[in-house]
Amino acid sequence: MIRENFEKNMLELQNKMGEMVDLTVVAMEKAFKALEEQDMVLALAVIEEDSSIDELENEINQMAIWLMAKEQPVARDLRRIVSMIKMSSDIERIADFAVNTAKATIRISKTDSILSKTSLVEMKNISMDMLKKSMTAFIEEDIALAKAVGELDDKVDQKNHENYAVLTDYLKESPQDIEQTLQLLFINRFVERAADHITNMAESTAYFIKGQLFDLN
Partner 1 sequence: MTMIVSEASIFNSTTSATTDTYATKIQVNDLNLFYGEKQALFNVNLDIKEKEVTALIGPSGCGKSTFLRTLNRMNDLIDGVRVIGNIHIDGENVYESNDVIRLRTKVGMVFQKSNLFPMSIYDNVAYGPRMQGIKNKKILNEIVEESLRGAAIWDEVKDRLKSSALGLSGGQQQRICIARAIAMKPDVILMDEPTSALDPISTLKVEELITQMKKDYTIVIVTHNMQQAARISDKTAFFLNGEVVEYDDTNVIFSTPKDERTEDYVTGRFG
Provide CB contacts within 8 A for 110, sequence distance 6+: 38
Give the count of beta carbons closer than 10 Å to the beta carbon of residue 45: 16
Distance CA 186, CA 9 (A): 39
Residue 77 or residue 92: which is nearer to partner 1 going by CB? 77
Residue 73 or residue 150: which is nearer to partner 1 going by CB? 73
Q: Which of 50, 57, 77, 90 binds partner 1 (CB under 8 A)?
A: 77
Among residues 23, 184, 197, 210, the alpha carbon closest in space to that of 113 is found at 184
Provide CB contacts within 8 A for 197, sequence distance 6+: 90, 91, 93, 94
Least Å distance, CB 210 to partner 1, is 8
Binding piece for partner 1, criterion CB under 8 A, among 1-9, 94-102, 142-150, 188-196: 1-9
Check binding of 41 to partner 1 (CB under 8 A).
no
Q: Which of 40, 78, 114, 182 binds partner 1 (CB under 8 A)?
A: 78
Q: Which of 9, 73, 159, 200 binds partner 1 (CB under 8 A)?
A: 73
Least Å distance, CB 1 to partner 1, is 7
DSSP state of 141: T
Check binding of 86 to partner 1 (CB under 8 A).
no
Residue 2 or residue 144: which is nearer to partner 1 going by CB? 2
Check binding of 84 to partner 1 (CB under 8 A).
no
Residue 81 or residue 126: which is nearer to partner 1 going by CB? 81
Are 171 and 104 a contacting pair, CB within 8 Å? no
Q: Which of 69, 74, 144, 173 binds partner 1 (CB under 8 A)?
A: 74
Least Å distance, CB 141 to partner 1, is 13
Least Å distance, CB 78 to partner 1, is 7
Distance CA 13, CA 90 (A): 15
Residue 79 or residue 93: which is nearer to partner 1 going by CB? 79
